[in-house]
């Protein structure tokens, strides 16, 4: 999906919500557990319930890999079921030397390989340019690079300052912006880091940010929009547990929670976009 199509979806649905499919067999309601493929049945119910309110889905690959081959199969079925006009994110947080990175990119971007045709993959920047550029060779596909993450450990390395006082996350952003353009490179900026969102928007005025950390992790959606929205919206805000595990009747509870977020996003778009 290219940026014009993504922005069109946001404008049509008045939403920049990304629903995280962090599907955990131990957390899904019991009625799904009698299904042949409980993970897929649950994801299907979540997609059906939330589709009017969301522009993106982000399966976290760990939740599927942890189940072995059956998990991959559930993920493949989920991706086949997912409508093509929503933006899809393989949250895999990959990062390795160039020829290995190429294999990761093929896994998620080339349907003839593993059966996946994701729009984007999350990538860890620690290994540098040759670990990221293989993902940038695919038309209308995106790299979502970890910059300033939502977890407490993000202070360990991301905030480390160089001899000029520039934090590591800022160097990651500035350097990686030389590798890919704003139609193929997004950054992960945690919603729990709202004190930094104005700053990262200054560093990357035109890039999209994937912002996880609202909902279960407590980040503020209105602050994210206030400081992070740009002239093409520039935000995809993810919520996983806060939407998919909001109640025992997934069809009702996921729809209710996604709608609540979408209504707030609609107002924020009125306020900060158009
Ligand atoms: O890359 C991510 O998506 C990510 C980055 C980050 O800084 N923090 C973060 O929570 N995530 C992911 O976003 C999702 C957040 O889930 P909830 O806290 O349940 O909304 C999980 O899949 C995390 O792995």
Q: Is the pLDDT of residue 122 over 80?
A: yes
The domain of 141 spans 3-272
- Is the pTM value of this prediction over 0.95? yes
Q: Which among 89, 124, 127, 81 has a CA at the least distance from the CA of 108?
A: 89
Q: Is 124 in the pocket of ligand 1 (CB under 6 A)?
A: no
pLDDT in tens, 138-163: 999 999 999 999 999 999 999 999 99
Instruction: Choose which residue among 17, 20, 59, 192 to substitute to test ligand 1 binding: the one with the highest number of ligand atoms within 8 A of its C-beta.
Output: 20
Distance from Cα 65 to the centre of ligand 1, integer Å: 16
Query: Which residue in the list 8, 36, 58, 93 is annotated as catalytic?
Result: 93
Q: What angle do CA 272, 118, 256 make, to 5 degrees?
A: 50
Q: What is d(CA 94, CA 107) in angstroms, rounded to the nearest whole number?
A: 11
Q: Residues 6 or more apart from 146 whose CB is under 8 A from it?
A: 93, 122, 123, 124, 125, 172, 187, 188
Is any atom of ligand 1 closer than 6 Å to the C-beta of 78? no
Atom of ligand 1 nearest to the CA of 22: 22
The DSSP secondary-structure symbol of 138 reads: S
Domain count, the chain: 1
Q: Is the CB of 119 under 6 A from ligand 1?
A: no
Distance 239 CA to ligand 1 centre (A): 8
The pLDDT tens digits for 8-45 are 999 999 999 999 999 999 999 999 999 999 999 999 99
Q: What is the CATH number of the domain that holds 55?
A: 3.20.20.70
Is-catalytic flag, 259? no
């Amino acid at each position: 999906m290219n940026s014009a199509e993504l922005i069109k979806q946001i404008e049509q649905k008045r939403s920049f919500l990304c629903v995280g499919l962090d599907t955990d067999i131990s957390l899904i309601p019991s009625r799904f557990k009698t299904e042949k493929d409980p993970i897929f049945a649950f994801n299907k119910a979540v997609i059906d319930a939330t589709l009017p309110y969301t522009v993106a889905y982000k399966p976290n690959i760990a939740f599927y890999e942890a189940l072995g081959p059956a998990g991959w199969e559930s993920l493949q079925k989920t991706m086949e079921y997912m409508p093509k006009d929503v933006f899809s994110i393989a949250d895999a947080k990959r990062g390795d030397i160039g020829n290995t990175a190429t294999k990761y990119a093929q896994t998620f971007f080339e349907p003839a390989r593993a059966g996946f045709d994701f729009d984007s993959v999350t990538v860890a920047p620690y290994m540098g340019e040759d670990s990221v550029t293989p993902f940038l060779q695919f038309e209308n596909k995106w790299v979502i690079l970890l910059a300033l993450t939502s977890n407490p450990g993000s202070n360990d390395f991301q905030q480390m300052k160089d001899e000029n006082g520039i934090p590591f996350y800022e160097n990651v952003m500035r350097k990686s912006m030389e590798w890919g353009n704003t139609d193929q490179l997004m950054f992960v900026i945690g919603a729990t880091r709202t004190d930094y969102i104005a700053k990262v928007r200054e560093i990357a005025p035109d890039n999209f940010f994937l912002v996880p950390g609202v909902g279960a992790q407590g980040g503020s959606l209105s602050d994210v929009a206030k400081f992070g929205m740009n002239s093409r919206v520039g935000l995809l805000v993810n919520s996983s547990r806060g939407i998919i595990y909001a109640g025992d009747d997934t069809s009702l509870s996921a729809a209710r929670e996604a709608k609540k977020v979408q209504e707030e996003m609609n107002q924020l778009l009125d306020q900060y976009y158009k």
